[in-house]
Structure 1
C-alpha cells in the first residue's frame, strides 16, 4: 500500500537533483530533474524498480515535486513520459504546469 512507502527524499545537486524512495532492500525509486533558471524545473526521468511496482511510488515522487514547486512558486516541464501522463490525469496540478 502507498502509505507503507518510506518518505520521499530530495537530493539537490545545484542545477540537477532527484526525488527518491529508498527500500529496505536497497532498491531506489527515483525521479530526476533539471533546474531551468530560478523558476522552472524539467522532470527528466522516472524509474521505479520491481520492488516498488504497484505501490504508487512513481505518483508519490511526482506529487512531491508538485508540492515543492507550488511552495517555491516554480513551474514544471514534465518531459518524462510518466510525469507527463500524471499531469494529464491530475488537472489540480495545472497551476505548476509550464504551458
Structure 2
C-alpha cells in the first residue's frame, strides 16, 4: 500500500509526464500556471544528486528526461535546416538584388 507522500509524488510525476508528452519540453519558468511542476522537477533532481531517491523513482525521472527534446537539439535541427537552405539559395540568388535575397531568406526561415 502506497503512502500519502508516494501517492502525491506519483500524481506530480504523471502531471509532468503528460505535460512533457504534449509539449516535448519542461514547463517554462516564466509562466506561472506550470511553475509548480518545474519546481517539483528541480527538487527531485536535487534529491537525486544527494542520493535520496529510490531506484524506481530515479529510473522514472530518467525516462521522463529522455522523452523531452532539449532546446539545444531544437536549435541544432533548425540551424542545420537553415544553413542548408541558405547554401541552396546562394546559387539561386546571385542574380537578384540584396533586398530580394533577404526576402527569400526570411520566407525560408518561416517554413
| TM, length-normalised to structure 2 | 0.28
| TM, length-normalised to structure 1 | 0.31
Q: Compare CA radii of gyration and give the structure with the larger one.
A: 2
The structure whose residues are more often helix, as a share, is 2
The structure whose residues are more often strand, as a share, is 1
